[in-house]
Amino acid sequence: MKHVKDPGPNGGRVLTEVEPHMEFLVTKDRKVQIIPLTEDLKPGKLTGQTASIMAGDRTSPTKMSFTADGDKLVSDIAFPEGDDFPLVLQHRSSADSKPTTIKFTMNFTDCPTCDYLEYACICDHEH
Ligand SMILES: [Zn+2]
């Protein structure tokens, strides 16, 4: 089994699309935390980043907004029941910068070949 990505320090997905990289983590209560990372992928300091999420069915999406709690961004609400739904994350490195749009599938299944859930999978298996 080949690791093709680095794991997040808390077991979440590393968002390599943004600098500094951020960790996207779903907590046990299905809320989202977004945590800034240092160059060696350790939890770092928030420097004004903001985020918002649209997830699920286009006709009735779940919209999350985030507030800073210490050095994490935490979502206002939790994901509703369900698995395997599309997610669009808009990330801004500061309130007035252009957003970076990141899309992936929110999948809470255990990956069969690495130690992470599918949304945070670090191996190269075929889904
Ligand atoms: Zn995997």
Rounded Cα–Cα distance for residues 65 and 76 (Å): 6
* Residue 110 β-bridge partners: 117
Please tell me whether the peptide bond between 20 and the residue prior to it is cis, using omega within 30 degrees of 0: yes
**Domain for residue 46, yes or no?**
yes
Residue 56 resides in a domain: yes
Query: 70 is in which domain, residue-wise?
Result: 13-120
Residue 70 domain flag: yes
User: Residue 1 Cα, ligand 1 centroid: separation in angstroms?
Assistant: 9
Domains: count for the chain: 1
CA of 2 to the centre of ligand 1 (A): 9
98: CA distance to ligand 1 center in Å? 32
Ligand 1 centroid vs 15 CA: distance in angstroms? Answer: 16
At residue 125, the pLDDT reads 76
CATH number for 101: 2.60.40
What pLDDT, in 10s, does the model give residues 64-77? 999 999 999 999 99
Is 104 inside any structural domain? yes
Q: How far is the CA of 13 from the centre of ligand 1 (A)?
A: 11
Here the tokens at position 75 are: 């979502």
Residue 40: inside a domain:
yes
| Predicted TM-score (pTM) of this structure | 0.94
Domain presence at residue 8: no
**Torsional sign, CA 5, 57, 28, 19:** positive
Look at residue 1 in the predicted model and tell me its pLDDT.
58
